[in-house]
């Protein structure tokens, strides 16, 4: 918790000195919200594209994608296979 206190007071001091300005951003305009809260499907799709996570991209290496998919599906060490 100590580092939170330091960060909080640092930001507070920067705002007081005019070095930082805090502004409120609507969820519909904030792409980071897809990582922090539930939003509508339309906003999710729009924000996903804005931050570069568009699933429509073409991969140059389909073999690598298949290998990664297999590794993700493989049981972790010590887990019995089902």
> Average pLDDT over the chain, rounded to whole?
79
Q: Is residue 61 part of a domain?
A: no
Q: Is residue 48 part of a domain?
A: yes
In the predicted structure, residue 78 carries a pLDDT above the cut 70: no
Q: Is residue 29 part of a domain?
A: yes
How does pLDDT run across 41-57, given as a tens digit for each residue? 888 888 988 888 877 66
**Angstrom distance (rounded) from CA 20 to CA 7:** 13
Per 3-state DSSP, the chain is made up of helix, strand and coil in percentages (nearest 5) of 55, 0, 45
Q: Is residue 33 part of a domain?
A: yes
Q: Is residue 36 part of a domain?
A: yes
């Amino acid at each position: 918790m100590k580092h939170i206190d330091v960060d909080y007071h640092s930001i507070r001091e920067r705002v007081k000195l005019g070095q930082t300005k805090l502004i409120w951003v609507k969820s519909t305009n904030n792409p980071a919200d897809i990582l922090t809260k539930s939003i509508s499907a339309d906003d999710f799709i729009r924000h996903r594209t804005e931050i570069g996570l568009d699933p429509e991209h073409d991969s140059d290496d389909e073999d690598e994608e298949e290998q990664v998919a297999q590794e993700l599906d493989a049981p972790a060490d010590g887990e019995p296979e089902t």
